[in-house]
Structures are given as structure tokens and as C-alpha cells.
Structure 1
Amino acid sequence: MSTFNPDKLFVEYREGVSPTGPVFPRRYTITHSDITGELFLTIGLGYAWDKTNSMRDEVLGEWVRRGSAFYYCVYLYIDQGEFKKNEVVRRNEIFRRELPLALSAIRYGDKSLFDTSPTLDRAPIIVHFMSIYPQFNSHEDWGTFRELKIKNLPPLQ
């Protein structure tokens, strides 16, 4: 896993969303530069499809409400038939290795929302790995933001 560096994170809030709200709907798009290692977090009412590319290596996330409980759902596009199986294996490994970095960037980049709504730190993170191959198509519980191990940052309160 890469180490999260807050100096390489750039956050953009889109129209209708501020650093403190709304929680729902609130969608996150994380893209990156392989060359510079920079992360780009866009937070809006919808996903930032204009920031994605044909590689489909972005991380998408959103807050979902079920009754009075919130969940943070992550959607990872492993494949939809466009990649050969050996490439799907590699993409799955990369997403799993780098997802903690993306989750750290979300938590750090949207810290004002978490400060305003501290119960979000205890919301379950559900990750949807989307693939046509059954062994890679799954939904997994990845804990909570409170449980994240963010390197080089003070512990979450």
C-alpha cells in the first residue's frame, strides 16, 4: 500500500455540496496521477464522470442511509468484460492494495464533514468489487473510518 501524503491530495467541492453538508446525497470520485502520485478527490451530489478515464481505475463512493443508519459504499470497477482474466487479477490486486489509501484520502479530505457528523466515523464501509467473474465480484465489509490505519496523520478522534 502506498503511504498517504496529505500534501498530494487535492479536494474539489461541486455545486450543492459544502465541506459540512449535506451528508445525503454526497458522492465521492477519487482519481490519481501515476506520474506525480497526486490524488484528486471530487465531492458532489453526483459522481465526477468528467474526471474518469477509459482505464476505469477511479474509486467511487457515497453515503447511503438505511433507516437512521448510514453506510459508506465504495464501488470499484474491476471489469465488465473489457479485460482479459490475467488483467482482471492484476486490477483486483491493485484495488485491494490501494483502497486503504483512497479511504484515507476521503476521510482526510472531507474531515470537516466528519467533524460536523462524528457518527460517520463509525459507519460501516461496504466495498462493491464489480466484475463479470464470480471470484472477483463481491461485497465486503471493510470496517469503519475510525478503524483506518492512516500513516503520517494524527489518530482520528
Structure 2
Amino acid sequence: MSEFKPEKLTVTYLPPASIFNPIDNRKYTLTHSDTTGELFLSVGCHFDLEKINPSMRDEVLGEWRRDLGQYTLAGTVYVSGGEYVQQLSNVRFMIFKKELPLALAAMVNGDKGFYTYYPWLLDAPIIVCFESVFPEFQQTLYFGTPRQYLLK
């Protein structure tokens, strides 16, 4: 896994979202540059679809969801909709699994001020859904809590 470097992260808040609002349906769009290693995080009330490269589909999406009073940071990564053969889908799946801790560290640290207003969310579960037409890659996995990714 690559190490998270805060200086490589650019954060953009999409109004009306701000450092303290909203909690419900707060959405994160994380993209990156393969050439520079820079990470780009958009925080808003909707996903930043303009930042998603439709031919690569290597973004990580996240959102705060509330179910029966329990908050969960729910993530989604796109492995394959059938445009990739099974072997390439496996490679994408393995890369996402390996790099997700870096992506989650970017989301949590990029929105660090949010947790000063809602510190209990640091202990909410992070669940990530891997979307694929191949059943072996269509998985939902637990990735700990935001507290684990917060830089000291």
C-alpha cells in the first residue's frame, strides 16, 4: 500500500456542503493522477461526476448513511461492468483492495475538520462495496473505522 502524504491531497467543498454540514448523505469523490501521485477529494451533497474518468473508473466514492440511527461510511469502487475480462477485473479488484487504505486515509484526513464537529463518527464502521459483474469480485468488505485512518 502507498503511504498517505497530506501534501499530495487537494480538497474541494462543493456548496452547500461545508466543513460542518451536512452529515446525512455527505458524499466524497476521490480521484487521483497516475503521473503525479496527487489525490483530489471533493466533498459535497452529490458526487463530483465531472471528476470521474469514464474510461478509467478508478475513483473511490464514499458517503455517510444513517440506518436505524447508526451512521456508516459507505464506499463504492467500480471493478467491472463487463467491459473488462475476468483476469483484468481480478487485477482491478486486487489493486482497489491494496490501495483502499490510502484512499480512506485521504477521505478521512481531507475532511478532518468535520470530525471536530462530529467526533463520534470516528468510530463508525466503514463498509466498501466492490461492484462487478463477476460474482467473486462483487463483495462488500469492512475496512475498520475513520479513527484508524486519522493521522496523528
Which residue number corresponds to residue 113 of structure 1? 114
Residue 67 of structure 1, CA deviation: 2.0
Matched residue of 1:29: which SS? strand
Residues 73-103 of structure 1 show CA distances to partners (whole Å, capped at 9, x for unaligned) of 0001001101011110110111011100010
- 1:76-155 matched pairs, under 5 angstroms: 76-148=77-149, 153-154=151-152
Residue 147 of structure 1, CA deviation: 2.6
Q: d(CA) in 1 for partners of 2:97 and 2:39?
A: 17
Matched residue of 1:135: which SS? coil
Instruction: List 4+ stretches of structure 1 deviating above 4 A.
Output: none
Matched residue of 1:50: which SS? helix
Q: TM-score, normalising length from structure 2? A: 0.96
Q: d(CA) in 2 for partners of 1:91 and 1:10?
A: 24
> Percent identical across equivalent pairs?
45
Q: Which residue identity lines up with residue 144 of structure 2 in the other structure?
A: G
Matched residue of 1:22: which SS? coil
Q: Which residue identity lines up with residue 98 of structure 2 in the other structure?
A: R
Q: Which residue identity lines up with residue 77 of structure 1 in the other structure?
A: Y
Q: Which runs of 5+ in 1 are unaligned?
A: none
Residues 100-119 of structure 1 show CA distances to partners (whole Å, capped at 9, x for unaligned) of 00100011000111111001
Q: d(CA) in 2 for partners of 1:140 and 1:75?
A: 10
Which residue number corresponds to residue 17 of structure 2? 17
Q: Which runs of 5+ in 2 are unaligned?
A: none
Q: d(CA) in 1 for partners of 2:105 and 2:25?
A: 20
Which residue number corresponds to residue 67 of structure 2? 66
